[in-house]
Amino acid sequence: MNWKELVIALFGEAHTITRTGDVISGDAHLQVAEAELTIAVVGTTDHAEIGVETALAQARLVLDTVSRYPGRPIVLLVDTQGQRLRRRDELLGLNRYMAHLGCCVDLARRNGHRIIGLVYDQALSGGFITSGLMADACYALPEAEIRVMRLPAMSRVTKISEDLLRSLSETNPVFAPGVANYVAMGGIQSLWSGDLKQCLLDALADPNTSDIRTRLGADRGGRALAERVVHQVIEA
């Protein structure tokens, strides 16, 4: 689904969302019972590569919302091919720019903004870590793709045969790309389908803002150990 279809599905015509470069942003309005709820939308499109400019632009939008509209919910729309792979961006400190975006999202949460992430197309590695994965909860459309790397590349890097990786990935969600695997591991709260506006309203109504992903991963069987390890350390 492209971003225009997505915002129509989420908000109908009641939005001012536009695109600047690979960044999309604007306000949207939802009718909640009798009241109208305004939401800030921040995201990327066209499988954006996240370089210093893209990270900084998104951080600016999040900070503007925190500064000017206390408490306004923020929806992060994710479509990224990951961090930009250029020497110039590394020279400028890309990890600092991207971490800054993550810190801004985290600050918004602490200041009482609900933050919902939605992977609507593609989410890869670093570009995903500092946006959708920093939300209160991150959701995905069923047709979205989430991955660190595809199996052929993983096979090359790890020097493990693609056949073995493919057969293991049928029973273990850790190895293969796919939104269902991320749901099983707790990284994605759930998949949205049908009435997307209702899905968003339900997500906004969920009062939880603490990080429960290791527990979800354990409950769903996709990450058996993480939750137990965390608790063993806390109780040590």
**Cβ proximity to other proteins, 197 vs 215, nearer residue:** 215
112, 211, 219, 221: residue in contact with other proteins (rule CB under 8 A):
211
Token pair, residue 118, equals 């939605």
Q: Where are the alpha helices (DSSP H) in the chain?
A: 3-11, 52-68, 87-91, 94-110, 125-129, 151-158, 162-169, 179-184, 196-205, 213-220, 226-234
Annotate each residue in 174-203 with x if it binds other proteins (CB under 8 A) or - if it does not, as one string: xxxx---xx--xxx----------------
Give me the 83-122 binding string for other proteins, x by CB under 8 A, dash otherwise: x-xxxxxxxxxxxxxxxx-xxx-xx--xx-----------
Site string for other proteins, 135-174 (x = CB under 8 A): -----------xxxx----x--xx-x---x---x---xxx
Q: According to the binding rule CB under 8 A, does residue 206 interact with other proteins?
A: no
Nearer to other proteins, 73 or 217 (CB): 217
Choice between 7 and 101, CB closer to other proteins: 101
Site for other proteins in 20-59 (CB under 8 A): 52-53, 56, 59
Distance CA 59, CA 103 (A): 9
State the Cα–Cα distance between residues 104 and 98, nearest whole angstrom: 10
Q: How far is the CB of 232 from other proteins (least distance, A)?
A: 6
Contact between 229 and other proteins by CB under 8 A: the answer reads yes
Nearest partner of 44 among 29, 62, 65, 67, judged by Cα:
62
Q: Which residue has the tokens 């693609």?
A: 162
Q: How far apart are CA 10 and CA 157, in angstroms?
A: 39
The one-letter amino acid code at 158 reads T
**Binding residue (CB under 8 A) for other proteins from 6, 78, 134, 144:** 134
